[in-house]
Each structure stands twice: as C-alpha cells, then as structure tokens.
Amino acid sequence: MTYANRASDGEILRDVCLMAKEMWQARQQLDDTLIDWDQLNDLVHQTFAVSAAKSVGVQGKEWRDLLHRYRAPGQTMMQLCSQAQLGTS
C-alpha cells in the first residue's frame, strides 16, 4: 500500500508542504551567495503575471506587445505591476 493510499488528502498536502518548506530553507542556506534573490522573485512574479494574463485572454504576441509598450528598460515585473496597480503606468 502506498503512502497516498493510507493517508488522507489533508495529511498528504500537509506533509508535502512541510517537506517543500524544509527543502526551500535548506536550498536558501546553501545558495544565498549564488542566487540573486531579487531576480528570482521577479522571475516568479513574471510567471504569475503570464498565468494571470492567460486567464483574462491575453497571451503570446499580444502579451509581449503589451509589455513592450509599458515596461521601461530594466524595469522589473514587480515594479511594472506596482505602477499598474497605482494607475501610473
């Protein structure tokens, strides 16, 4: 019998989340000097923005064109989204 068969969904989810948290913390400790965390956070934000754009029907070339029109050189996705939320982009 596998773990998935003998544990409830809630237990599996809890265990997976705890394991993921421990793995993430261990990885952070090892890689603090190797990873630019701001860059990683922006990459994650970009991924969520792409997913959200798809949810509202904007994808592919249309999404890239929108970014090209509004995103300043060197501007992070987080900065762009902050401006957009304030209505200043």
Asked if the model's pLDDT at residue 37 lies above 80, the reply is no
Residue 33 pLDDT grade (very low, low, confident, very high; cuts 50, 70, 90):
low
Looking at residue 7, what is its pLDDT? 60
For residue 36, with 0-12 CB atoms within 10 Å meaning exposed, 13-18 middle and 19 or more buried, which class applies?
exposed
pTM of the model: 0.56
